[in-house]
Structure 1
Amino acid sequence: MARRALILVEGHSRIGLLYVKAAQRLGVHPITLSADPARYEYLAAEGSEAIRVDTDNLDALIRECSRLRATYDIAGITGFAGDDELIYATVGELCRYFGLPGPNPASIERCCNKFTQRQILAEAGVPMPAYRLAANAAEVESAAAQIGLPVVLKPVLGSGSIGVRLCRNVDDLAEHATYLLSGRHIWRSSLRILVEEFAQGPHYSADIMGNEVIGIEAAEFGPPPHFIFREYTHPAPLTDEEYRRIADVSLSCLQALGLGWGPSFVEFRWTKRGPVVIEVNPRIAGGANPQLVQLAYGVDLVTEHIKLVVGEAWDLRKRHSQTAGARFLIADRDGTLDWISGDSQAAALPGVVEVELYAKSKTPIVRKGDYRDRIGHVVAASLNRAPIAAILERAVDLVSWSITPFPTPGEQEQSEAPPPAPAVVTLRNS
């Protein structure tokens, strides 16, 4: 009998290893198809099978999966969005071609286009910030004038807060619009920008499997103008009524967008109007989120997702209730990371579940204003909510690092200049 295999389209720096290990526990052989398997260090570390293939080419993926079927029983296909959420739509196309369970690719594509998503949700009466679509600097300026500053500028396609910035005045607006329209940002489509009202209030997100809300987390950002998540807490400190309102709006979003198969998460701001939708994501959340859900509720989102993918019955029953939180370490300047230490001491603290450092000594740090600026995280869990923030604070305080700024052009020229010629000393006979 052929060995059962799970095809993973691309990988993921934070949760890819979770999928590889969960598949192995379920007795399914994971095979990663990637344009560059070397990007994902865990593949080599685990000795996990990986094949180089152009993952932007659906026909190439179909050919590779067809070749693999000669050796394996392909039980399921899934993948990771990474910086390109449309990969998940490609996963849906592959599943349809091979008659396997999977997401609706048309729904995924509609959801991944932030402007189309906004239009669909608006038609369904979902509460959202005011928004406009812009294709050039003049349209950005006009949209911001109609909405009123401050506004948020973001690419129509993308994830991980890449290219997303708060613009408080016309100078911020002009600077970031120029950046997004200059081509320095990586685009998959034409240069289009979403201009949105800055919805102010606490940030929450609902983790969903199928049509069931597993939990709602609270999140905090680092300093503006960027939107880099600094801390997560599961469950969020909500009243029963607040929880119900967020859960109801979340499920309304899925219905409007034609989602509801597999994992998704919906982001909110709680404003004077109540919960307004910032974004619907048709995939499992990355980072530390799956781990927090498991610690808080006893639901392993990754394992249950794989069960769905390979046609097995999932189990979303909550097995316990405690508080789990994560704090991210964020680089505070550009330069060379001289050293980073203290992770062992932090990991030894009571309540700390994990300390992971992403960056190594002598690594160049170039901040981008998105999730890639994070250089590590601390995860903690507690039976009570109150100690979580204190546990995370104590742990983070034990981790320290040093970043030496890159030399300025003048300093660089000086360092590259040849050393002065040694002085010539002439010895004379008396």
Structure 2
Amino acid sequence: MARGALVLVEGRTNIPLYVQYVQAAKRLGLQPITLSADPARYDCLAAEGIEVVRVDTDDLDALIRECSRLKATYGIAGITSAVELFYATAGKLSRYFDLPGPNPESIARCCDKVTQRQLLAQAGVPIPACRVATEAADVESAAAEIGLPVVAKPAVGSGSVGVRLCRSLEELVEHTTCLLGGKHIWRSSPRILVEEFAQGPHYSIDIMGNEITGISLLDFSRPPHFAYRELTYPAVLTDDEHHRIADVSLSCLRALGLGWGPTNVELRWTQRGPVVIEVNPRLPGSPTPELVQLAYGVDLVTEHIKLVIGDEWNLRRSHSQTAIARFLVPDRDGTLDWIDGYNRAAAVSGVAEVKLYIEPRTAIVRKGDIRDHIGCVIAASPTHARTEAILQRAVALIDWSITPFST
């Protein structure tokens, strides 16, 4: 018998993770129901039997009315979201209906990178030197104070969208013009964060509640962009490095008023030790949950839903492996003519999954962020060296052709 509805507020900006929430909810005997301003975006998931309700998801009162109707019809076991944009909204709804959920004020503060850095700095958490700017002249002044190179990024956003390393004043002017000139979509008043380029290995720390569930190593494409190239669980660390990374990560929770549900901390190990790049008050998107399950046997999505509905949750590891995701990134703009070899790659022993994100005949315009990925290969084995070898063999089997756009 169904245990009630799990209400998901939107999910369109992270469909793979959203599908995992839907499937996990069904396994737990829940009825997943999505609230969306545009239900047509979910037509591709009709086979899952998902009920999608049209409602203005930017209107809290409208959401409360719809949830009240769903409560009377199904009973609501819990409310959450698979995307950062609506996680604070889900927290507000959970509070209104007296359901477990995160502190929406803390989530909102954390999603604003300027406020986040102010709170981290006040608490003594090591962060890069940074300034906030609203005009081009302010951006240049901030860079002059900090010293080139700098990283310029929108104050609100995710997926490295709009993030660029600027090594010269010319690159900074060009990127600022791009951000403020209409090419970047702002959900609020334009504010650009200009910060010191912290150099060193980049780590991602996954936390549920106040417990660290995993630390991974992120490898990026070549500067000036920050698109992921590879994600490895677990990161190879000394005991001292692990302790210091864990200590800094948990201090972020205290500084930002977090500690309920999932949090993701990204930091770099620099000459002065761990420096926090950003804190995300949510579960990271695919393929992080898949890698954590392959590496440790922990299903982060299911355990988060258990927390949302007030069930007992379990983060105990059942095994230990090295799991790595290698992303497929095109080297040019144009039209994808064909992509082949993915079935052979999937058949390689040790490959857990091969994902393709686009179909042939799709136009490719590289952005320098997560939107550039056309697929990924995921592998796992008992050792890091073996997993890397498996990936090398599998990725070598995949090929594609891109015809450049005519000028």
The sequence identity of aligned pairs, in percent, is 70
Q: Matched residues in 2 for 1:332 and 1:49: separation? A: 39
Q: Matched residues in 1 for 2:52 and 2:147: separation? A: 49
Query: Residue 265 of structure 1 corresponds to which residue in structure 2?
Result: 264
1:8 lines up with 2:8 in the alignment: yes
* Matches for 1:219-238 after TM superposition, within 5 Å: 219-238=218-237
Query: Residue 417 of structure 1 corresponds to which residue in structure 2?
Result: none
1:68 lines up with 2:63 in the alignment: no
What do residues 307-328 of structure 1 show as CA deviations (whole Å, max 9, x unaligned)?
0001101001111111100001
The code of the aligned residue for 1:26 comes to L
Query: Residue 141 of structure 1 corresponds to which residue in structure 2?
Result: 140
Structure 1 position 38, deviation (Å): 3.1
Query: Residue 328 of structure 1 corresponds to which residue in structure 2?
Result: 327
1:372 lines up with 2:371 in the alignment: yes
Structure 1 position 3, deviation (Å): 5.2
* Matches for 1:21-420 after TM superposition, within 5 Å: 21-40=23-42, 43-81=45-83, 85-408=84-407
Structure 1 position 42, deviation (Å): 5.1
Q: Matched residues in 2 for 1:131 and 1:192: separation? A: 13
Structure 1 position 69, deviation (Å): 1.5
What do residues 346-387 of structure 1 show as CA deviations (whole Å, max 9, x unaligned)?
001111000010110111112222111101010000011111
Q: Matched residues in 1 for 2:42 and 2:162: separation? A: 23
Secondary structure at the counterpart of residue 377 of structure 1: strand
Q: Matched residues in 2 for 1:389 and 1:306: separation? A: 32
What do residues 385-412 of structure 1 show as CA deviations (whole Å, max 9, x unaligned)?
111222112111111111111111xxxx
Unaligned residue ranges in structure 2 (runs of 5+)? none
What do residues 105-160 of structure 1 show as CA deviations (whole Å, max 9, x unaligned)?
10001100001000000010001111001111111001101111110000000111
**Taking structure 1 as the reference length, what is the TM-score of the superposition?**
0.92
Q: Which has the larger radius of gyration?
A: 1
Which region of structure 1 is more displaced relative to structure 2, 300-309 or 361-370? 361-370
Secondary structure at the counterpart of residue 15 of structure 1: helix
The code of the aligned residue for 2:132 comes to L
Q: Matched residues in 2 for 1:40 and 1:249: separation? A: 39
Q: Give the alignment's Cα RMSD to 1 decimal.
A: 1.2
Q: Matched residues in 1 for 2:67 and 2:391: separation? A: 44
What do residues 273-318 of structure 1 show as CA deviations (whole Å, max 9, x unaligned)?
1110000000000020011111111110000000000110100111
Structure 1 position 80, deviation (Å): 2.2
Which region of structure 1 is more displaced relative to structure 2, 47-56 or 67-76? 47-56
The 1:7–1:378 alpha-carbon spacing in structure 2 relative to 1, beyond 3 Å, is same
Alpha carbons 2:3, 2:77 under 8 Å: kept = no
Secondary structure at the counterpart of residue 14 of structure 1: helix
Which region of structure 1 is more displaced relative to structure 2, 307-316 or 398-407? 398-407
The code of the aligned residue for 2:15 comes to S
What do residues 251-284 of structure 1 show as CA deviations (whole Å, max 9, x unaligned)?
0000110000000110011100111000000000
Unaligned residue ranges in structure 1 (runs of 5+)? 409-430
The code of the aligned residue for 1:219 comes to L
Which region of structure 1 is more displaced relative to structure 2, 213-222 or 330-339? 330-339
Which region of structure 1 is more displaced relative to structure 2, 244-253 or 326-335? 326-335
Alpha carbons 1:86, 1:109 under 8 Å: kept = no
The code of the aligned residue for 2:4 comes to R
Q: Matched residues in 2 for 1:405 and 1:289: separation? A: 32
Q: Matched residues in 2 for 1:70 and 1:337: separation? A: 49
Secondary structure at the counterpart of residue 176 of structure 1: helix
Q: Matched residues in 2 for 1:314 and 1:56: separation? A: 31
Which region of structure 1 is more displaced relative to structure 2, 102-111 or 32-41? 32-41
Secondary structure at the counterpart of residue 4 of structure 2: strand
Q: Matched residues in 2 for 1:321 and 1:34: separation? A: 38
Alpha carbons 1:325, 1:388 under 8 Å: kept = yes
> How many matched pairs?
405
Q: Matched residues in 2 for 1:292 and 1:41: separation? A: 27
Alpha carbons 1:209, 1:260 under 8 Å: kept = yes
Secondary structure at the counterpart of residue 247 of structure 1: helix
Alpha carbons 1:86, 1:108 under 8 Å: kept = no
Q: Matched residues in 1 for 2:129 and 2:58: separation? A: 33
Alpha carbons 1:207, 1:213 under 8 Å: kept = yes
Q: Matched residues in 2 for 1:387 and 1:38: separation? A: 43
Which region of structure 1 is more displaced relative to structure 2, 91-100 or 9-18? 9-18
Secondary structure at the counterpart of residue 278 of structure 2: strand
The code of the aligned residue for 2:375 comes to G
